[in-house]
Amino acid sequence: MDKDVALEKVESAREGIIEFLKTLHQYDIYSSYLLGGIAFSLILLTILLRNNQTLAGLSLLGFLMTLFIGPFVNYLFIHNHLYGTDYKITYIKQMKFANVMVVKGEMTNSGQERIDECKLHAFVMPPQNGFLKNLQVLYAVKPIQRRTFTIENSFEPQATTEFKMKFTGFKYSREINSSDIYIYRQCYNKELGLPVEEWLKSEEKKAE
């Protein structure tokens, strides 16, 4: 049983990595080269300034930030520019006689490129009032429920598409509002993304 669980987790992680790679753009590759160059320059500068602890420390700090924070910031900047989206939840229905919640909404392409597919990572968080409402996003670490949905509708910049999400096994007595649901959108254009599926097929043929 433990072996099956481990294999399931490995397969789930593999699928997650593949889905992430599909969202990458050529700009991500170019920018990774740039970040690598900056990181190399900073570590070299740190070595050259080793006799000056203050400057060497600042250079080392810049290196660490470039190495660990740079890729994350870089990804968000590129993808918000190319595939940015805005969403609005228009309908929420919590079934009284079944553990189901249905959510409908609209999503607008505010980026520069056509979007072919989106992964919607939805977090349903406990309702909060007053000052705690500002800290509600912290509950994304341990939400009431988290689900991932896929939208395969193609829509051009400034165009809007509808989406529907169904949360099964949803047990919560209080009323959920649109402000209690956060959706992280992971969108991409199939033509502009990296040819991950082609690479996988090529590797499978080699393995045969």
The average confidence (pLDDT) of the chain is: 86
**pLDDT per residue over 143-159, tens digit each?**
999 999 999 889 999 99
In the predicted model, is pLDDT for residue 2 greater than 70?
Answer: no
Beta pairing class for 117-124 and 160-168: unpaired
Yes or no: say if 163 and 149 are a contact pair by the CB < 8 Å rule: yes
Q: Give CA–CA dist 60/187, Å, rounded.
A: 34
Who contacts 122 (Cβ-Cβ below 8 Å, separation ≥6)? 103, 146, 147, 148, 149, 165, 167, 181, 182, 183
- How many angstroms separate the Cα of 6 from the Cα of each of 1, 15, 97, 147, 205? 9, 14, 36, 21, 26
Determine which of 55-59, 72-76, 96-100, 190-194 has the lowest per-residue pLDDT on average. 190-194
Q: What is the pLDDT of residue 162?
A: 94
Residue type at 194? L
In the predicted model, is pLDDT for residue 19 greater than 80?
Answer: no
**pLDDT per residue over 45-95, tens digit each?**
999 998 998 999 999 999 999 999 999 999 889 889 999 999 999 999 998
Q: What is the pLDDT of residue 158?
A: 95
Match 């989106």 to its residue by tokens: 118
Model confidence, pTM? 0.78
User: How many residues are listed for the chain in this entry?
Assistant: 208
Q: What is the pLDDT of residue 92?
A: 95
Q: What is the pLDDT of residue 93?
A: 94
Yes or no: say if 117 and 19 are a contact pair by the CB < 8 Å rule: no
Class of 85-188 in CATH = mainly beta
Q: What is the pLDDT of residue 60?
A: 92
Q: Give CA–CA dist 145/134, Å, rounded.
A: 20
As a whole number, mean pLDDT of residues 156-168 equals 95
**pLDDT per residue over 196-206, tens digit each?**
666 666 666 66
Q: Give CA–CA dist 7/4, Å, rounded.
A: 5
In the predicted model, is pLDDT for residue 181 greater than 90?
Answer: yes
H or E element at residue 151? strand 145-151
